């Protein structure tokens, strides 16, 4: 019985350490819109007026992990004549997807807290672009401890001796 209690202590400790971070607000400086929650979501700007523009998308991630940022735009008459973007200062590289469709992306390790995407370009009067962010968290230490404790408890349960039962029949 004491062994079971001793094995449950690390599980209780790991469960007590597991804390989730609250969702952070997002903001978009420019004419577009953003819907990013806990590091994942979408952003866009449409009907961008003629001339140069700069959009800044600020959002937060709750923990250490990887963020994948993807963007797409059309290079057509009345659209965008150029577009460049950065994620936390790292450039997003764009390439042709066929015809006048261009896309690009970046995958980067991120720390918990604020993140930033900056999009700049020149619109010919009706330019638009869209993008998305997908955040994948790296498990915290408490999660690893709970997993290891669970595997250990499963091993203990499998190694327990099974009692032999004898059946006596009365005739």
| Residues 78-94 pLDDT 10s | 678 888 999 999 999 99
CA angle 34, 90, 47 (to 5 degrees): 35
Same-domain status, 4 and 36: no
Q: Give 27-65 pLDDT, tens digit per residue.
A: 787 778 888 888 889 999 988 888 899 999 999 998 888
Same-domain status, 104 and 120: yes
pTM equals 0.67
* Amino acid 16: pLDDT: 40
Residue-range definition of the domain harbouring residue 8: 1-18+140-155
Same-domain status, 146 and 132: no
Asked whether the CA dihedral 92, 59, 73, 135 is positive or negative, the reply is positive
């Amino acid at each position: 019985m004491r062994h079971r209690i001793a094995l449950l202590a690390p599980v209780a400790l790991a469960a007590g350490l597991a804390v989730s971070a609250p969702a952070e607000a997002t903001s978009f400086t420019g004419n577009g819109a953003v819907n990013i929650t806990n590091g994942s979501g979408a952003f866009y700007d449409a009907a961008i007026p003629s001339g140069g523009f700069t959009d800044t998308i600020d959002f937060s991630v709750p923990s250490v992990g990887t963020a994948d940022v993807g963007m797409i735009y059309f290079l057509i008459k009345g659209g965008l004549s150029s577009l460049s973007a950065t994620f936390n200062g790292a450039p997003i590289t764009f390439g042709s997807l066929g015809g006048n469709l261009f896309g690009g992306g970046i995958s980067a390790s991120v720390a918990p807290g604020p993140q930033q995407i900056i999009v700049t370009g020149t619109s010919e009067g009706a330019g638009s672009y869209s993008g998305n962010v997908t955040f994948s968290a790296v498990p915290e230490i408490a999660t690893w401890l709970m997993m290891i404790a669970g595997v250990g408890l499963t091993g203990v349960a499998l190694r327990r001796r099974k009692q032999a039962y004898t059946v006596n029949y009365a005739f």
